[in-house]
Amino acid sequence: MSLDADAEAKIIDAIYRGACDSVELSRAIALIAEYFESPGVLLGELDQAQPERQFAIGARTIDQEYFARYAEHAELDPAPRAFAALAVGTASITDRMFSESFLRRNVFLNEFLVPRGVNGALACPLLSESGRFALIAVQQGVNRRSYDDDDIARVERLAPHMMRALQLRRLFLQSEQRSKVLESIVDRNKTGMVGLRGDGPALFVNRAARAVAAARDGLGLDRQGRLVAADRAAATRLVALQADVARGGAGGLVRVPRPSGRLPYIVMVSPLPSGDDLFPNSRGGVLFAIHDPARRPMATEIRIAQLLHIPRGAARVVQAILAGQDLKDYADRAGISMNTVRFHLKNAFAGTDTHSQAELVRVALSALNALEPHFADRN
């Protein structure tokens, strides 16, 4: 691989990483400055419809002090308007866009740029549509040879990747905003909730889930916000159910033992709802809902039967599941056969229009969460 090709490969890698990481985007701009032996490089995007999405990143001499001083002289700079007239993806040089006599008389060039060691720029518009405009500008140092056709070709080779990265960045910011909206919603739910999409970091982790992790009692969160269980068997089960959901399955329940000796957590693993305005591309995502039987007084079988409109025997089975009991253990303690337990479970499914323990728990928890203030009033 040639030196140019190797340098461009590193830049392109950093550009794409920068789509969702501002540190990597700054690194990409710094690599471009090094590649073109430039005293300063600027990547910026203007957005008239959504000004909060605008940004400007600089490398080397283009720093916060530069931006502050530039704001005082911006109206004297003839380059942005000239570069905006170019076709997207087409680069040019100020030496070719302005006459020598114009540059010799230009106040902005001679009083702002030249004292900073700059006497021109190589730039390329990356986006120009619907009130949005993006540009990459590579400054030319006073002691460097003038940029030429080879340099223009270099920028134009990088331009498609920068265009794509800007679009990816916009999608990432939209997804990040949706994540914040969704987190604000699920934070109001006292059931711990963690949402994943693919193998990346968590889409959201609500306040209740963070509190469970902070308790260090059998469940935690890794650096990416993903749910982890301390118990090996429970951890294996979580991974298996997550894989099941990723394949299109319904998921299931995991009982997670707690070192404190308290009743085990019940973690429901199910598909993350998709097709809504928050996460339209969340198909294949996974939702973990953490139920802590010790967090509040357990509803009686009578109240469960009333809430879910199921027989008392079925309600006792639901109560056992919510308490983290294994159904075989429940059968032994209740002195009934597993066939009887299965009969009651079948009635619970029929009464709640569910088809799995995970769905049954989701419905039961939803009903009990709605009832929770009444429990609080009585205690």
- All CATH 3.30.450.20 domain ranges of the chain, comma separated, are 177-377
Helices (DSSP H) in the chain: which residue ranges? Answer: 3-17, 22-35, 64-73, 79-84, 94-97, 100-105, 107-108, 149-186, 207-215, 232-246, 301-308, 312-322, 327-334, 338-352, 357-377
pLDDT single digits (tens) 319-356: 888 877 888 988 998 899 999 999 999 999 998 888 88
- Nearest Cα residue to 265 out of 236, 299, 231, 224: 231
CA atoms 356, 179, 134, 118: torsion sign: negative
Q: Phi, psi at residue 178, to the nearest 5°?
A: -60, -40
Distance CA 82, CA 75 (A): 13
- Nearest Cα residue to 288 out of 369, 220, 370: 220
Distance CA 161, CA 11 (A): 10
- Nearest Cα residue to 204 out of 223, 220, 182, 188: 182
Q: Quote the DSSP letter at residue 76.
A: G
What's the pTM? Answer: 0.51
Give CATH for domain 3-173: 3.30.450.80
- All CATH 3.30.450.80 domain ranges of the chain, comma separated, are 3-173
Task: Spell out the per-residue pLDDT of the chain, length 379, in tens.
Answer: 466 788 898 899 889 888 877 888 999 999 999 999 999 999 999 988 888 788 999 999 999 999 999 988 888 999 999 999 999 999 999 999 999 999 999 999 999 999 999 999 999 999 998 888 999 999 999 988 899 999 999 999 999 999 988 887 876 676 665 555 555 555 666 778 888 877 778 888 888 899 999 999 999 999 889 999 999 999 999 999 998 888 888 788 888 999 998 888 988 888 876 544 445 455 568 888 888 877 655 567 887 888 788 999 999 998 888 877 888 988 998 899 999 999 999 999 998 888 888 788 878 876 665 444 333 333 3
Question: Which of the listed CATH numbers 2.102.10.10, 3.30.420.40, 3.30.450.20, 3.40.50.2300 matches domain 177-377?
Answer: 3.30.450.20
pLDDT of residue 185: 53
Neighbours of 150 (CB within 10 A): 8
Q: Identify the residue whose tokens are 């518009």.
A: 125
pLDDT of residue 3: 66
Distance CA 189, CA 336 (A): 36
- Nearest Cα residue to 125 out of 165, 176, 78, 163: 163
- Nearest Cα residue to 301 out of 314, 283, 284: 314
Q: Phi, psi at residue 43, to the nearest 5°?
A: -120, 125
pLDDT of residue 323: 77
Distance CA 333, CA 73 (A): 82
Q: Are strands 92-93 and 132-141 parallel, antiparallel or unpaired?
A: unpaired
pLDDT of residue 83: 93
Query: Does residue 251 contact residue 277 with C-beta atoms inside 8 Å?
Result: no
Tell me, letter by letter, the H, E, C secondary structure of 308-337.
Answer: HCCCHHHHHHHHHHHCCCCHHHHHHHHCCC
- Nearest Cα residue to 238 out of 288, 284, 194, 282: 288
- Nearest Cα residue to 121 out of 101, 90, 142: 142
